[in-house]
Amino acid sequence: MPLASSLGVGILLLVCVIRLLYYAWARTFSSTPPVPPGPKPLPFIGNVHQLPVENQQKTFLEWGHRFGAVVHAKLFHSPVIIINSLEVARDLMEKRGGNYSDRPPFVLLSELMGWDSTLTHLRFGERFRKHRKWMQSAFMAKPALLSYRPLQRRESHIMLAGLLSDPDAYVRHFTRFAAATLMEITYGHRVTSESDLYVHMAERATTETVKAGSPARMLVDFFPILKHYPTWLPGSKFKVDALYVRGLVKDMTDTPYEMVKRKLESGNAWPSFTGNLLEEHYRKGPLSHEDEIDIKGAAATLYAAGTETTATTMTTFIFAMVRHPEVYRKAQEELDRVVGLERLPDFDDRESLPYLNAVIKEVYRWHVPVPSGVPHFSMKEDEYRGYRIPESSMIIANIWGMSQNTDIYPDPEIFRPERFLYNPNDELMDPKNIIFGFGRRLCPGKDFADSNVFLLASNIVATMDLSCARDEEGREVLPPLEFTSGFVSRPRPFKCVFTPRTPRAVELIRHLNNEA
């Protein structure tokens, strides 16, 4: 071997040895804190192989039991911090919200599918703060919430009439209620039929987003270069489907927005979130392209984020009541005692119905509608409890895991509303402080959503008896304890029987529906 070659090989070996010694020294003597404990990753794929396709929140909780309240994992090359503790979630996402209020770069949902201008997906910054301010004015100000009550009452009466005429379609009635209230608030458009064009467009966009956003297709989030993958090559279905959804999302955001603009120009627009923003911007001068995109995105956020979760929560309520008839009877007894049988319960009755409130809290806790929330993102490196949280870590708050904390909720698998009767003001126990998210990413519509659930639940309890469906031999069929898996989780489809409690209940429903 020539001398020059021998020297080159020797120098290369020496450099490798020095680097190995340096890494060994750094790991032994460096003052940099370690990352939190977690499952052992494999080269390149990290911990992807340890995550099931369904019900990942259960695996996250198992890791929490094994490794502690803060768990570190890797999805390919991306660090992930998993939180199963409410205390830790508040410490990081509320007390240190300036560092943990960002969102990961959702390439599939934002860049390819076109959800990039909705508040749920916006990166932390000026645009986020602008959207957040708009949402707070519409859904966190008490005068605004009070102004929605006549609309909520009207649509709840239509929902009850739907249960009278077609009780088997109860999920569709809940979805229509949520869609109609949010469509009118957002665009000033009153929904008068189940075939409403704008509702249909929105449902198609959200449904197809869920279908095309499966975990297997989210590889592009970890390897963004895949967004440039040609659609004519084999294996491009993820991109073809995403671009198809992009067209649906564009229709969903553009069409009702243009409708509001036309009505404003003709002077016959109803008051609405979108109309108010447009008029506010018109007073300042011409509408910029950026402002137009932001108004469209903010409006789409209201509808897309609220419709599915409201219908899901109400379906879970019915599921729990069918499986626990003794709880339903207690709620009926309380309503009969407080409200009576001559009218329907209203918002002002809520403080006088502690048991029904406990039932609603238990519905929230027993099966949370969004088990793992929407991930946050660390903007810079941080240290917490002696551990290093890397910059650009995906932060997953396992909301379902928090709802199963045996220290706070003994026997968490049991549906037991009484657990909230003895601690009605305990913020640590109240699942309302968990299921709507944390910090600056807290759902601004949480009070509106909660009031919807109360109004629908109380009206159903007051007017309807609930029971299991029966088989061909007349035996009751208890629906199995099964839930769908995914970003939003609800009971698997089940049958039950709605029966008007009294002739007076039927009379009330029909009278109020005629007025609506």
Q: Is 42 helix (H, G, I), strand (E, B) or coil?
A: strand
User: What's the CA angle centered on 51, arms 45 and 56, to 5 degrees?
Assistant: 145
Per the document, the length of the chain is: 516
CA distance 54 to 56: 6
- With the C-alpha atoms ordered 345, 351, 353, 355, is the resulting torsion angle positive or negative? positive
Q: Is 383 helix (H, G, I), strand (E, B) or coil?
A: strand
- Residue among 131, 80, 88, 86 at smallest CA distance from 104: 80
- Residue among 436, 437, 433 at smallest CA distance from 425: 433
CA distance 255 to 274: 12
CA distance 383 to 381: 7
* Cβ atoms of 381 and 390 closer than 8 Å: yes
* Cβ atoms of 294 and 131 closer than 8 Å: yes
* Cβ atoms of 120 and 375 closer than 8 Å: no
Q: DSSP state, 409?
A: S
Going across the sheet that includes 496-500, the strands are 476-477, 464-470, 496-500
Containing H/E element for 81? strand 78-83
Beta bridge partners of 75: 46, 78
Read off the tokens for 364: 């929230």
Cβ-proximal residues to 19 (8 Å cutoff; 6+ apart), any chain: none
- With the C-alpha atoms ordered 444, 450, 453, 458, is the resulting torsion angle positive or negative? negative
Q: β-strands 394-397, 376-377: how paired?
A: antiparallel
Q: SS3 helix, strand, coil % of the chain, rounded to 5?
A: 60, 10, 30
CA distance 301 to 504: 40
One-letter identity of residue 143:
P
443 is in an annotated binding site: yes
Show binding-site residues: 443
Show binding-site residues for heme: 443
